[in-house]
């Protein structure tokens, strides 16, 4: 059976979910998106994702042609149509069809698409043993360019960095910002642990303000763990006791090696494991609310 995709107000078969070659999302990466989890039939952190989509669109001056409630309903309709209880959702809004020129005023109908998929990004083994990452030479775009807080369809810096990771035999790439501080990975935020305290780069370190990152900060508070949003460098990562990444797709994945250096004893550490397990509980609890 073909999967159903939501496209501008309708659920259509995958084969019929086609985008015009004049769509500026296709021509220029002109659009915004969200990666969202549905656990136990419920959208995880619904408000945070929808608000972030609206904020991204606001900065790019794209008017989403649906209300927030309608978009939420479209997500649930797509999940139901594909018989999912747990799913990964890709929600996309492009500026819509225009001409070959850059003129955004000629694009009148932004396109809204919802794709639902079953997803496990990394194998169970990686969650047990951790992944290795490498610093990419491609930096995260500075906030006076397209602000990384905008989750735009233009992910080329991150894709270049991910290609660097692939050639280095690593699962992910660590991206620095223009100051040389640690920003994030290509599709995940980063946390380090040193002497029992957690650190993650602040929002102004040229990062996407990850929904999962913010959930982990909440979990730290619940667990009574000290966690701060402060800038740090690769030196802090190399000398950390533990490191892990967070994202809607990966959820929480331990990092055991960075640029060939082992982090801690080269195994996922106790605090990472504690938060990983608390995250599982948090998600279960959220699904029952
Ligand atoms: N940083 C980047 C660049 C990302 O693409 C993502 C994934 N959307 C994240 C961080 C993690 O964000 P979230 O927890 O909201 O999925």
Query: How far are the Cα atoms of 3, 26, 113 from residue 68, in angstroms, in the given order?
Result: 24, 24, 14
Q: pTM of this prediction?
A: 0.96
Q: What are phi and psi of 77, to 5 degrees?
A: -65, -40
Average pLDDT over residues 98-103: 96
Q: What are phi and psi of 35, to 5 degrees?
A: -115, 120
- Alpha helices, DSSP H, located in 120-233: 124-129, 156-167, 211-223
Which residue from 175, 208, 215 has its CB within 8 A of the most atoms of ligand 1, so it is best to mutate? 208
Q: Are 25 and 116 a contacting pair, CB within 8 Å?
A: no
Is residue 119 scored above 90 in pLDDT? no
Among protein residues, the one with the nearest Cα to ligand 1's atom 4 is 187
Rounded to the nearest whole angstrom, what is the distance from the C-alpha of residue 100 to the centroid of ligand 1? 30
Q: What are phi and psi of 261, to 5 degrees?
A: -90, 140
- Can you give the pLDDT at residue 289? 47
Give residue-wise pLDDT tens across range 148-164.
999 999 999 999 999 99
Give residue-wise pLDDT tens across range 240-263.
999 999 999 999 999 999 999 999
Rounded to the nearest whole angstrom, what is the distance from the C-alpha of residue 245 to the centroid of ligand 1? 10
Catalytically annotated residues: 151
- Can you give the pLDDT at residue 121? 72
Rounded to the nearest whole angstrom, what is the distance from the C-alpha of residue 247 to the centroid of ligand 1? 5
The span from the CA of 260 to the CA of 244, in Å, is 16
Q: Are 7 and 116 a contacting pair, CB within 8 Å?
A: no
Among protein residues, the one with the nearest Cα to ligand 1's atom 2 is 187
Is residue 288 scored above 80 in pLDDT? no
Ligand 1 nearest atom to the CA of residue 151, by list position: 5
């Amino acid at each position: 059976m073909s999967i159903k995709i939501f496209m501008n107000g309708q659920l259509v078969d995958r084969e019929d979910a086609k985008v015009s070659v004049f769509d500026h999302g296709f021509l220029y990466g002109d659009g915004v998106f969200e990666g969202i989890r549905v656990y136990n039939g419920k959208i995880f952190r619904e408000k945070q994702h929808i608000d972030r989509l609206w904020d991204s669109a606001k900065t790019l001056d794209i008017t989403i042609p649906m209300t927030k409630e309608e978009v939420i309903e479209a997500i649930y309709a797509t999940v139901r149509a594909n018989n999912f209880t747990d799913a990964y959702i890709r929600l996309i809004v492009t500026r819509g069809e225009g001409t070959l020129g850059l003129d955004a005023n000629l694009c009148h109908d932004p396109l809204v698409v919802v794709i639902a998929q079953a997803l496990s990004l990394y194998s169970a083994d990686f969650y047990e043993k951790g992944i290795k990452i490498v610093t990419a030479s491609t930096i995260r775009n500075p906030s006076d360019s397209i602000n990384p807080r905008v989750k735009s369809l233009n992910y080329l810096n991150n894709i270049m960095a991910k290609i660097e990771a692939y050639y280095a035999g690593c699962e992910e790439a660590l991206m620095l910002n223009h100051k040389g501080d640690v920003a994030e990975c290509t599709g995940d935020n980063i946390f380090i642990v040193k002497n029992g305290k957690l650190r993650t780069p602040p929002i102004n370190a040229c990062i996407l303000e990850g929904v999962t990152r913010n959930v982990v900060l909440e979990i730290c508070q619940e667990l009574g763990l000290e966690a701060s949003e402060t800038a740090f460098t690769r030196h802090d990562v190399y000398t950390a006791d533990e490191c892990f990444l967070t994202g809607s797709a990966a959820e929480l994945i331990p990092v055991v090696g960075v640029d060939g250096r082992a982090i801690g004893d080269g195994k996922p550490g106790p605090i990472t494991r504690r938060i990983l397990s608390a995250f599982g509980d948090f998600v279960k609890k959220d699904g029952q609310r």
